[in-house]
Amino acid sequence: MIDIQPIEDQALRDLAALSGAEALEAFRIRYLGKKGVLAEWMAKIPSLSPEERREFGAAVNRCKKKIEELFEERKKSLETQPAAPEHFDETLPCPEPLSGRFHPIRETIHEITGIFSRLGFSVVDGPEIETEFYNFSALNIPLDHASRDSFDTFYTAQGQLLRSQTSTVQVRLMQKQKPPLRMIAPGRVYRPDTVDASHSFMFHQIEGLMVDDRTTFSDLKGVLHLALRELFGPEIKIRFRPHFFPFTEPSVEVDLRWGSRGWLEILGAGVVNPKVFEAAGYDPSQCQGFAFGMGVERIAMLRHGIQDIRHFYENDIRFLKQF
Ligand code: DAH
């Protein structure tokens, strides 16, 4: 025979602990429902012997009455009890609002254009779809130069091209503006490179150009030194290494000392070639200046310790959230 007592005790404890209409209903179904504990016991009665039937039947009835009574009581007391006031603490900090932020490439461009703006350079823009004239000829790049090859430049069916360097903006600006001028031109450039950890078919450059009647190579050194120290910190060491570019003469590449990795090339620069002034309609005997061009991704990767250029273009929020 079933021992009613422990289950009855459990039911009374459950009843005392429960609160809320849902818990009340769950209790009713569990003990008093059609398939509840008490209904189950009642169903067993007919199969018992007459003596057992009397004894067990009486116990079940008494238990049922008791649970029903206490259930009604509990139900009433819960219904009349006022709901607990919701606790509100206005001194707790509110959840941090979601906010957007600049892409690391945009942020790097901002920082660099900011440095040059403070040196009196204005920020100018140029088209990404260009002519051979602005991308090559005006920059003294000969017709047979390798960079003109379709392996190195994207051409359109109409004979235009996607600019492969921001140097295009040099002659575009000089055609519109007489010296003295100081400009900085950030933007996208395109090259048919196979994409890997350090190459992309699209990347960003920042071009710089300063022209008047007295600017020299030493001004170039001074301006770049100052800008790179602003960007990478006062401890930074840089070196000017002779190089060749058709649009500057003399030309240099500038390297940054990067800890154990040695010298890293970060930009090209030089004294503007008189041929470029000619192409722009300037009188080369009346003006002189310097130009430089740097890769934005390269600088952003160095500053933030980013190992793979592809991170910039994949829109992975886990990467972008870190800046
Ligand atoms: N246009 C060059 C490149 O894409 C970079 C460059 C070098 C720009 C020297 C300049 C310069 O203005 O004077 O590799």
Total structural domains within the chain: 2
The answer to whether residue 214 sits within a structural domain is yes
| Separation of alpha carbons 56 and 62, rounded Å | 10
Q: Are 224 and 310 contained in the same domain?
A: yes
Q: Are 72 and 119 contained in the same domain?
A: no
Mutation choice for ligand 1 from 134, 135, 162, 165, CB with most ligand atoms inside 8 A? 165
Going residue by residue through the chain, which has 323 residues, state the pLDDT in tens, using 9 for 90 and above: 678 899 999 999 998 888 888 889 999 999 999 999 999 999 989 998 998 899 999 999 999 999 999 999 988 888 887 666 677 888 888 888 888 889 999 999 999 999 999 999 999 999 999 999 999 999 999 998 888 888 899 999 999 999 999 999 999 999 999 999 999 999 999 999 999 999 999 999 999 999 999 999 999 999 999 999 999 999 999 999 999 999 999 999 999 998 888 999 999 999 999 999 999 999 999 999 999 999 999 999 999 999 999 999 999 999 999 98
Q: Are 114 and 237 contained in the same domain?
A: yes
Q: Are 205 and 117 contained in the same domain?
A: yes
Place of tokens 């990795």: 261
Q: Provide the token pair at 288.
A: 């002189």
Q: Are 200 and 238 contained in the same domain?
A: yes
Q: Are 59 and 143 contained in the same domain?
A: no
Is 156:192 a contact under the CB 8 Å cutoff? no
The answer to whether residue 86 sits within a structural domain is no
Question: What is the domain extent for residue 180?
Answer: 104-320
Q: Are 53 and 136 contained in the same domain?
A: no
Of 6, 188, 212, the residue nearest 109 (C-alpha): 188
The answer to whether residue 57 sits within a structural domain is yes
Give the distance (Å) from ligand 1 centre to CA of residue 292.
Answer: 6
Q: Are 213 and 269 contained in the same domain?
A: yes
Using only C-alpha atoms, the chain has a radius of gyration, in whole angstroms, of: 40
pLDDT at 82: 67
| Separation of alpha carbons 51 and 160, rounded Å | 107
The answer to whether residue 91 sits within a structural domain is no
Find the largest Cα–Cα distance for the chain: 129
pLDDT at 230: 95
Give the distance (Å) from ligand 1 centre to CA of residue 268.
Answer: 5
**What CATH number did the domain enclosing 131 receive?**
3.30.930.10
Give the distance (Å) from ligand 1 centre to CA of residue 224.
Answer: 14
Q: Are 61 and 171 contained in the same domain?
A: no
Report in angstroms the alpha-carbon separations of 68 from 11, 37, 73: 11, 13, 9
The answer to whether residue 93 sits within a structural domain is no
The answer to whether residue 92 sits within a structural domain is no
Of 266, 268, 224, the residue nearest 244 (C-alpha): 268
Alpha helices in 81-125, H assignment, sequence order: 104-118
pLDDT at 224: 97
Is 42:34 a contact under the CB 8 Å cutoff? no
Query: In what helix (H) or strand (E) does residue 80 lie, and over which residues does it extend?
Result: helix 50-80
Q: Are 70 and 161 contained in the same domain?
A: no
In the sheet that 181-190 helps form, which strands lie side by side, from edge to edge? 122-123, 181-190, 202-212, 288-295, 263-272, 248-257, 238-245
Mutation choice for ligand 1 from 116, 140, 167, 190, CB with most ligand atoms inside 8 A? 167
CB within 8 A of 240, min separation 6: which ones?
221, 252, 253, 254
DSSP string, 261-278: G-EEEEEEEEEEPHHHHH
The amino acid that residue 222 corresponds to is G
Q: Are 195 and 254 contained in the same domain?
A: yes
Residues with CB under 6 A from ligand 1: 165, 167, 207, 245, 247-248, 268-270, 291-293
Distance of CA 148 to the CA centre of its chain: 35
pLDDT at 151: 81
The answer to whether residue 277 sits within a structural domain is yes
The answer to whether residue 305 sits within a structural domain is yes
Of 315, 155, 299, 177, the residue nearest 232 (C-alpha): 299
Q: Are 142 and 288 contained in the same domain?
A: yes
| Separation of alpha carbons 205 and 186, rounded Å | 6
Q: Provide the token pair at 88.
A: 């509100």
Q: Provide the token pair at 287.
A: 């003006």
Give the distance (Å) from ligand 1 centre to CA of residue 200.
Answer: 18
Is 1:56 a contact under the CB 8 Å cutoff? yes
Report in angstroms the alpha-carbon separations of 19 from 23, 84, 86: 6, 11, 16
Distance of CA 215 to the CA centre of its chain: 40
